[in-house]
Amino acid sequence: MHVGRPAPGDLVELDHKGRRFHAEVTSIDGQRLAITPLCAHHTWRAATTRELVGLWRASKATRAQINADEFTADERDVGDRA
């Protein structure tokens, strides 16, 4: 099954050695993905595109924020709100 090519900022579902988990793609080097797992008990930080099961693309606005060097004070405070 062909899912597509992920880009930095996309959320992916991976099947790594029989274990499925979700992660955010931080960078891509050929067929290797540098990832940050969304669940803390998964410690893998790299995967291949063959392990890719699902893909959710980041919006263009989200990708622009990821690539920006500075955030406004409001954007930094969003994570602190309950």
For residue range 15-59, list pLDDT tens digits in order: 999 999 999 999 999 899 999 999 988 899 999 999 999 999 887
pTM score above 0.75: no
pLDDT at 79 over 80: no
Residue type at 46 in one-letter notation = A
